[in-house]
Amino acid sequence: MSALYAYTMNTTLGEKIRELRDKKDMSLRDFAKKLGDVSAAHISDIELGRRYPSDSLLVKIASLLDVSVEELKKFDCRAPVDEIKRLVQSDPAFGFAFRTLVDKKITPEDIIKLGENKPDRGKR
């Protein structure tokens, strides 16, 4: 397992945002003020992993922290539950495949390794 992979897997989006904010020596309240229409309480919840930012807020956060949205999204470890549901409903083979993942106790590392060798969906 690469060090970068381990870091990404062990760091939440909130922790990453806090780390980048710390590097810029911005307090949480300063950060919220600079983001505009968002409360310090909301940012605190995001950093503590109690909620996730909307796409539009994530764009603002990324811009203020001088990173790309894609870079931040690497730390969003939520499972895309809705998309998985849609896939299973549209093709039963996906259901079988997911069941196999669970039964065979396939590790997240194996799945990511498999994914890295495939082109992004939608770009085929």
Partner 1 sequence: MRSYRSNAGPFNERPYYTADEIERICVDSLRVVGLYPDSPESIRIDRFIEKRFKVVPEYEDLGPGVLGMAKFGNNGVQGIVVAKSLDDENSKTNERRIRSTLAHEGGHGLLHAHLFAFAADRLLFGENTPSGPVVLCRDISGSAKSSKYSGQWWELQANMAIGSLLMPRALVLKAISKYLVPSGQLGLNVMSQEKRGDAVNELADLFDVNPIVASIRIGEMFPENRSGQMSL
CA distance 56 to 83: 20
Length of the chain as a residue count: 124
18 binds partner 1 (CB under 8 A): yes
Pick the stretch among 2-10, 24-32, 94-102, 109-117 that binds partner 1 (CB under 8 A): 24-32
Q: CA–CA distance from 23 to each of 6, 12, 39, 41 (Å)? A: 21, 17, 21, 21
Q: What is the DSSP letter of 65?
A: T
The count of C-alpha atoms lying within 13 angstroms of the C-alpha of 95, restricted to the half-sphere facing its C-beta, is 7
48 binds partner 1 (CB under 8 A): yes
Nearer to partner 1 (CB atom), residue 29 or residue 99: 29
41 binds partner 1 (CB under 8 A): yes
Nearer to partner 1 (CB atom), residue 29 or residue 73: 29
Q: Which residues bind partner 1 (CB under 8 A)?
A: 18, 22, 25-30, 39-41, 44-45, 47-48
